[in-house]
Structure 1
Amino acid sequence: MGLGSRPRVEPVPNAPAATVDLGDEQALVVGDYHAGIEAGLRYERGVELPSNGAERRQRLQTLVNETGVDRLVILGDLGHRIGTVEQVEREELDALYSVVVEDLGVPITVAPGNHDGGLDQVWGDRDGVDILSPSGGLLATEETGLVGVFHGHTWPDQSLLSADVICMAHEHPTVKLQDSVGGYRTEKAWLRGRLDRSVLAKGVGCDPEALEWADPELIVMPAFNDRSGGTWINVDEAGFLAPFLPDALRSGELYLLDGTRLGAYQQV
């Protein structure tokens, strides 16, 4: 699933994560971590689940170690209810910071998501943390190719459309796979495809001809959190969450975490 001459965004096999070549750095990219989700589910839905925070943190720590990256990029929804952060969520975020930044020496860049209101108050003054605009930002240099990152709950910042590749989260893409006798299972998936210039230009309030456009490829990452649900991308009633999807996606293909190419998302 490499992108040819474009920046190398390489999915980590069998994991909802990718590595990205940023020239002088290698980054690990994940999205939808949802620290403290169990407390949120208890409040929102009355669902009682034991915290999986230690397991989430260990999975991420293992990925950082195994990939040997220099930076961790989180594509939003780092927390689950940061705007009204509960003690259990704050403790999970503190432990994550301690492991990644302090113990491993890996700085963190966050592109805030719709669950990250108040993140500045929790992590904004910490060394080794860079919090981007909610509409995203650019990584890498012209030499390696620009990579745009944002969560996906807003229209992307106009500058991202000059990137070669745009990575987002928010959708928690999953696929519904049905067998010959009517049973089905769901699996996390990657969605990638070309964007429509006219749709994006209108959304960011720019004339299409005046838009700095690099014909970017969009990569929608699967959710890191195993308890956060997902959007069934390959069903007729798929309810995309991003304000520009599916209209801005000219075409898109689905891939399973093991690299299996499923084909066009409308036909799977």
Structure 2
Amino acid sequence: MLGALTGDVVGSIYEWNNIKTTEFPLFQEHCRFTDDSVLTVALAEAILTGEGYASLMRRYFRRYPDVGYGGNFRSWAQNDHAHPYHSWGNGAAMRVCPVGWAFGSLAEVLKKAKDYSLPTHNHPEGIKGAQATAAAVYLGRTGASKEDIRRFITEYFDYDLSRCCDEIRPGYSFDVSCQGTVPQAITAFLESCDFESAIRLAVSLGGDSDTLAAITGGIAQAFYGGVPEPIAMRTLAFLDEPLRGITLAFEERFVKRKGGPPT
């Protein structure tokens, strides 16, 4: 989970100012957490406490109203009786990382990823993006190889993972859809050699940089056995106390107990 928050913080300053290279300072003064982190932590709290995710998202929205939510989500969050808005956006994928850690089988992860998407993202593509991301996290933490992950994502979700980052990068632009974000984020992970390189590759693609890097970072943490401590400490320093507290509680309960490098 901390890997997803790291990607969000690192990518936050490049969302509207893309940088098409992997050579950049990882953390900068104006980095910040965005809606990606806020809704990821809200999901972690829902898993930890059993409270309904929809009500928690609305509560977090009121607590953090100015962190970059999309217009459809903002309208939904301001109305306690609003129905799902049939979204195919990448918001379902950006926040789903905790599901890949918290549940004990791939079938359960796929089911829970759908369940936690449905309050807002009840479009098939929104659900698919969340399921693919959560499945990659689960497979990464349970010892699957990169080729295993590539094969499963390609065959189960019909995502095209055939292009490398160097092929994607030149023509890639801002895209808020799951189908235009999740395959690219997974590709960045597949090409990486360690956690930091995964984040750098994701940001270097451009587009919706914080969300791309959040998805990639969540998977990379699972596969590589954690977030390097200096990077983890920098990420935690960007969070406020409530977000940091839930993050550490989730990591203690699920990640430290279930993590580990692939075998």
TM-based fold match above 0.5: no
Computing the radius of gyration from Cα coordinates, the structure with the larger value is: 1
Higher relative contact order (CA 8 A, sep 6+): 2
TM-score (norm 1): 0.35
TM-score (norm 2): 0.35
More strand by share: 1
More helix by share: 2
